[in-house]
Structure 1
Amino acid sequence: MTTGSRTNASKPGGGGWTADRMADQKGRTFVVTGATSGLGLVTARELAAHGGRVLLAVRDAARGEQVASSLRGAYPGAEVEVRQVDLLDPKSIRRAAQRIGEEESVDVLVNNAGISMVEHSVTAQGAERHLAANHLGHFALTALLEPALRRSPAPRVVTVTSYMHEKGELDLDDVAWSQKYTPLAAYSASKLANAVFGVELARRERSSSPPITSVLAHPGYSNTPMQSKGTGITGVAMRIAGKLFAQTPEMGALPQLYAATEPGLTAGSYIGPDGRGGRSGYPTLGQVSAAAQDPELGRRLWDRSQQLTGIRWHPTEA
């Protein structure tokens, strides 16, 4: 499930890959979660600009409609629609999946939405909120959209994680984080769950026909609205550092745009910035952490996710 050593993922001709190198996406349908700001907004904008039909899967439908209207104004003829979904609400996820599932097919699902640095709280499912929103909501949405993805000739799921997944630890016996909670640790654990999920989905899809190609992406250190979410001294430090050192959302979105549109990517590929430490730069093939590749952890997370969401989902296991 790894790509080996870091390899430049740019197209022939030199230089790093940018969105203007993206092929025409006309005729393809994309679902992008969290598409009203930050990385999701940039991703939706570029996909629409290149002819893709984009479904904005967002919690705030009114804000989504504003974004859709803006994109249609900027790119005449762009097909941009809103599908309301709250990734913390199982009923909302089912409603959204049912509506999206009425589409002829979904070619690419970009699991982009996320929260960070929130105070401790537990959902009705019994899961801490970072894990619930960042992983469980996307696990459920992906599972419920499987039929629509299967109708595509080349379905793909892009799961957005973070380099912080390398520091994450998953305690599947205490998904509520009832002890020793810190926002950063919980966020990192949820990003590890994203990485484990992406790798495990790729593993389980090896013998499916057509296989859903599961690809992982991370934005490096990018100045997005997440940088303003922290509280207290930590929040102030995050906002200052984001302005001073982080790359733009336009650069941060490139890995997931590459992961969503580049032909021929191998299942389990991990795309991130090519700069030092993977913090900034242009898309390149990287390597997820050893924990993310652990098949036993993948199996356990899959089973626990089914239990917590109440969704039995069994893609073919390798």
Structure 2
Amino acid sequence: MTIRNFTDKDVPDQSGRVFFVTGANSGLGYAAAKLLAGRGARVLLGCRSSEKAKEAMGDIRSVYPEADLRFIPLDLGDLQSVRAAAALVAEEPRLDVLLNNAGIMMPPREETVDGFESQFGVNHLGTFALTGLLLDKLAAGHSPRVVITSSMAHRSGQIDFDDINADKSYSRWGRYAMSKLANLLHMYELDRRLRAGDSPIIATACHPGVADTELARHFPAMMISLLRPVTGLFMNSAAQGAWPTLAAAAGTGVESGQYFGPSRNAEWTGPAREVRPHGKARRIDPAKSLWAISEKMTGVTYPV
């Protein structure tokens, strides 16, 4: 089924389904969690801050008083936290959709708790580990899905296998683009493995176009101040930016391996539709190499 012009109004009833949304206290994750809860889903909110998670849950319940919500402590920059979060989710009666949304963008060079360059560590390795740890749980779900959030930035990304941890050189944009290419290489290799294993899980990906969220907090202050008055002209709101996320996570007739993004202005804005990634995102050899490195770095081996 081809999805075109998908918005929040196209999300069907989700009663009885369980979603785990990472980065759910703000931006795209919050918008998706709120909408899914409003459609009847049980939503697990993966967040670093309990205070922000509780605030987000209160905001959702102010609109949907009967919302079925649970806070799951999660820091994708700490593999111990990732394992603890996966263990909590495993206690749930079921899990139908893992919505990998959380990420960081263009910080100064930092390292995760485990010593990884932060953008690759959070955006890819944390997501890779969480997905692998929850794959068996998802397999027992109803029409299970994994959603991985990428970005248009993947088009300029290159996986630097000779300096995977940015020990030799660091570019804020270059490493962000690399992490977003890694997200798509991950999704397509996961799709190939799931299909080869005849798994019921489907793997999908999405990108929000250009959305007005906290993700850009590391942009130069002058740039933000200049752009803020006109963001509505060329940016989605957070709620609009979540449309591709919702299409991937809850759209009717979605197939494994599909990638969703905005439909207008060169994929910057508008309702969601299936979009085409850069060809390098679908290359098999780099995906296999990245997979092997990711398993070694995280210590997480997939059951597929």
Q: TM-score range by the shorter chain?
A: over 0.9
Matched residue type, 1:178:
D
Query: Which range moves more in the overlay, 228-237 or 160-169?
Result: 228-237
Matched residue type, 2:207:
H
Task: Report what 1:13 is aligned to.
Answer: none
Indicate whether 1:131 and 2:110 are aligned. Answer: no
Task: Report what 1:142 is aligned to.
Answer: 131
Counting only pairs closer than 5 Å after superposition, residues 69-108 of structure 1 correspond to structure 2 as 69-108=58-97
Task: Report what 2:17 is aligned to.
Answer: 28
Indicate whether 1:40 and 2:29 are aligned. Answer: yes
Give the number of aligned pairs: 304
Task: Report what 2:99 is aligned to.
Answer: 110
**Cα distance change, pair 238–89 in 1 and its aligned pair in 2 (3 A):** farther
CA distance in 2, matches of 1:50, 1:232: 38
Task: Report what 1:178 is aligned to.
Answer: 167
**Cα distance change, pair 165–205 in 1 and its aligned pair in 2 (3 A):** same
CA distance in 2, matches of 1:24, 1:102: 24
Question: What displacement does 1:124 show?
Answer: 4.9
Aligned equivalent of 1:158, options 147, 151, 173: 147
Aligned equivalent of 1:189, options 178, 182, 190: 178
Matched residue type, 2:249:
A
Task: Report what 2:215 is aligned to.
Answer: 226
Matched residue type, 1:183:
R
Using structure 1 for the length normalisation, give the TM-score.
0.90
Question: What displacement does 1:286 show?
Answer: 1.0
Indicate whether 1:9 and 2:9 are aligned. Answer: no
**Cα distance change, pair 104–210 in 1 and its aligned pair in 2 (3 A):** farther
Question: What displacement does 1:234 show?
Answer: 5.5
Question: What displacement does 1:268 show?
Answer: 0.9
Matched residue type, 1:295:
I
Matched residue type, 1:68:
M
Matched residue type, 1:55:
L
* Deviation digits for residues 173-225 of structure 1 (CA, Å, limit 9, x no counterpart): 31221233111111111111111111111011003344320001000011111
CA contact (8 A) 1:213 1:266 kept: yes
CA distance in 1, matches of 2:115, 2:228: 31
SS of alignment partner, residue 57 of structure 1 = strand
Matched residue type, 2:26:
S
Task: Report what 2:200 is aligned to.
Answer: 211
Using structure 2 for the length normalisation, give the TM-score.
0.94
Question: What displacement does 1:228 show?
Answer: 2.5
Matched residue type, 2:67:
A
Matched residue type, 1:40:
G
- List, as ranges, runs of 4+ consecutive aligned residues in structure 1 with deviation greater than 4 Å: 232-244
**Cα distance change, pair 169–214 in 1 and its aligned pair in 2 (3 A):** same
CA distance in 2, matches of 1:237, 1:283: 28
**Cα distance change, pair 176–234 in 1 and its aligned pair in 2 (3 A):** farther
CA distance in 1, matches of 2:184, 2:80: 25
Extract unaligned runs of 5+ from structure 2: none
* Deviation digits for residues 219-244 of structure 1 (CA, Å, limit 9, x no counterpart): 00111111232246556566567465
Matched residue type, 1:9:
I
Task: Report what 1:3 is aligned to.
Answer: none
CA distance in 1, matches of 2:86, 2:254: 26
Matched residue type, 1:204:
R
Indicate whether 1:297 and 2:291 are aligned. Answer: no
Task: Report what 1:279 is aligned to.
Answer: 268
Indicate whether 1:311 and 2:300 are aligned. Answer: yes
Extract unaligned runs of 5+ from structure 1: 1-6, 11-15
CA contact (8 A) 1:117 1:230 kept: yes
